[in-house]
């Protein structure tokens, strides 16, 4: 999403846009981590969940109990509230998404160490999703993605070793070694042919050179259903963000509570909560500025409802204007 005609590839899906709406390139040695706004999809893998599989270990006991009693009916309701994206990994990449929020789990009772995406209900195998992303990167050698493995459920040390080995097997030399955040520029990534930064929120990251510790990508969570409170929270956490040493995620998402789900039981997350609050959230996004004290990564549910990626990418125009003035 950072490449332009000047530098080579324009991401798939961007070529049909007029030049002024295409993803912008960072100038040589621009600090990608601190200056370039870009887009992240929340619970990126939830475009498909398996209503026939058991309820995930990330759910409370009462939810598992209700699912056991009401079975498929309960899971169909859960599906409406577990899915936060409509687009597949390939479609999200083509739309300009480059940061992926990943929650993973084993299936308790299943033999072996297979790992699945999870958000209430199990999704695809992690290997399948990673392979889709790798295929895109192979076709677009100047594209870079961030993979944030921030929740791990029902996983012991053997499962973690299996997942880490899978990452090495799928991405190989594309994996960027953890280093000083300020050293990460597009020039640095392109020169070393790195295309993947993996953030791993588990002690296993400490022993692996290509795993970035979770503290390097803080993502403060508002945990509210109120758009006004969300925006206040985003403003506060932006003003408090570390200026050096880490990336920063602004989670522009609303989180349903039990009474929210009850009131919108049939409608689901998208129709009951996201759609009606999206205008206020997007107005906040459009008003942001890039730079050390501005937004870095912005995450959203249902990135296809509006031209979310392009809205965030356009903020980079402000950096170019600032350079032109100076």
| 119 among known catalytic residues | yes
CA distance 219 to 216: 10
C-alpha 69 chain-centroid distance: 33
- Which residue from 194, 197, 195 is spatially nearest to 147, judged by alpha carbons? 197
Q: How far apart are CA 163 and CA 104, in angstroms?
A: 10
DSSP β-bridge partners for residue 121: 55, 119
Active site residue 65: no
Beta-bridged to residue 145, according to DSSP, are 196
Q: Strand 121-125 to strand 116-119: parallel, antiparallel, or no bridges (unpaired)?
A: antiparallel
Query: Which residue among the candidates 119, 152, 248, 272 is catalytic per the annotation?
Result: 119
Residue among 42, 140, 159, 272 flagged as catalytic:
42
In DSSP notation, 238-252 reads: HHHS-SSSS--EEE-
Which DSSP string corresponds to 166-234?
HHHHHHGGGBPPP--GGG--HHHHHHTT--EEEEE-SGGGGG-TTEEEGGGS-------S-HHHHHHHH
Contact in structure between 310 and 21 (CB atoms under 8 Å): yes
Provide the annotated active-site residues. 42, 119
């Amino acid at each position: 999403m950072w490449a332009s005609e000047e530098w080579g590839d324009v991401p798939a899906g961007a070529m049909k846009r007029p030049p002024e709406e295409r993803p912008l390139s960072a100038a040589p040695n621009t600090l990608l981590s601190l200056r370039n706004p870009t887009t992240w999809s929340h619970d990126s893998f939830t475009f498909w969940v398996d209503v026939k599989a058991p309820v995930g270990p990330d759910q409370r006991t009462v939810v598992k109990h209700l699912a056991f009693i009401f079975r498929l009916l309960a899971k169909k309701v859960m599906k409406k509230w577990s899915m936060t994206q409509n687009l597949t990994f390939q479609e999200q990449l083509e739309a300009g998404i480059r940061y992926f929020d990943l929650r993973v789990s084993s299936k308790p009772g299943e033999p072996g160490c297979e790992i699945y995406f999870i958000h209430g209900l199990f999704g695809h195998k992690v290997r399948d999703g990673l392979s889709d992303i790798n295929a895109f990167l192979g076709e677009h050698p100047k594209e870079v993605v961030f993979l944030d493995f921030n929740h791990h459920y029902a996983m012991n040390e053997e499962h973690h070793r299996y997942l880490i080995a899978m990452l090495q097997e799928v991405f190989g030399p594309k994996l960027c070694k953890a280093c000083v955040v300020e050293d990460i520029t597009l020039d640095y990534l392109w020169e070393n042919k790195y295309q993947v930064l993996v953030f791993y929120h588990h002690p296993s990251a400490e022993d692996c050179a290509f795993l970035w510790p979770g503290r390097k990508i803080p993502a403060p969570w508002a945990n509210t259903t109120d758009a006004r409170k969300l925006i206040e929270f985003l403003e506060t956490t932006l003003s408090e963000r570390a200026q050096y040493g880490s990336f920063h995620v602004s989670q522009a998402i609303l989180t349903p509570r039990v009474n929210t789900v009850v009131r919108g039981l049939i409608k689901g997350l998208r129709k009951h909560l996201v759609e009606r609050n999206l205008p206020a959230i997007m107005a906040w996004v459009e008003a942001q500025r890039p730079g050390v004290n501005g937004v870095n990564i912005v995450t959203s549910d249902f990135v296809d409802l509006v031209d979310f990626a392009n809205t965030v990418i356009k903020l980079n125009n402000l950096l170019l204007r600032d350079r032109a003035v100076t």
